Amino acid sequence: MRVLLSGYNGTMGQVLKNYIQDNTALEIVAGVGRELLEEKFPTYTSYEGLEKIADVIIDFSHHAGTASLVEYAKRTVTKVVIATTGHTTEELELIDELATQVGVVYAGNYSLGVNVLVELVKKASELLLGYDIEVIEKHHNKKVDAPSGTAKMLVDAVKDVEDYNRVYGRHGDMKRQEKEIGIHAVRGGTIVGEHEVIFAGEDEVIEIKHTALSKKMFAKGSVTAAQWLNTVGEPRLYSMKDVLGIK
């Protein structure tokens, strides 16, 4: 399978490149990034003039490049795995539009463990109705978007069961209101990623937590998604639940 790396020169792009070269039989046919690095494959700073060269694009770039990525994928009818987060409403609409023409996998997190965590949180929300719920996420000091895409996935899992009002951080003198879900973002050092969901009830607290120890798991998950997407014919927007067969 031929892969084009979008954002190849970023931190995750380099992790993905090394993972593919060291662990798979996939062929990296090109990389697109904001600057050129010496690689074993051709590299470009834009999609302008670039013809179809890959079966699947894996995108670990920046959400600001969504429009050009979508335009290229449409023009060349190339499937896309989007592993970038922080998209605006307009950018998400572009991704939805793209998915009417080619297969797209879009997820806030490509870790198997995180996707299991989402399912556990959904189940806990069904069983612990009325509990106070807080989401805490921690990442390195270079992460731009907050809250993380994974935190949004966890909140959506709760809201699939029961509607809560989102509260981002807490300050002031007002006590916690009913039907609130607190979302807290911590940024510091080289934290790869931690996500914790707290269910607080009368006289008990249940905590569900996932800790990422290496960025390699995101690379592995995105490759798994790309391999799966390459076998799917129907243009549609898919999630990691589809890739992993989670009902």
Q: Which residues are catalytic?
A: 139, 143
Nearest to 5 by CA among 36, 24, 32, 34: 32
CA atoms of 235 and 103, how far apart (whole Å): 4
CA distance 222 to 230: 12
Alpha-carbon dihedral 52, 242, 240, 235, rounded to 10 degrees:
30
Residue 138 host element (H or E): strand 132-139
To the nearest 5 percent, what fractions of the chain are helix, strand and coil? 35, 25, 40
Q: Is residue 78 helix, strand or coil? A: coil
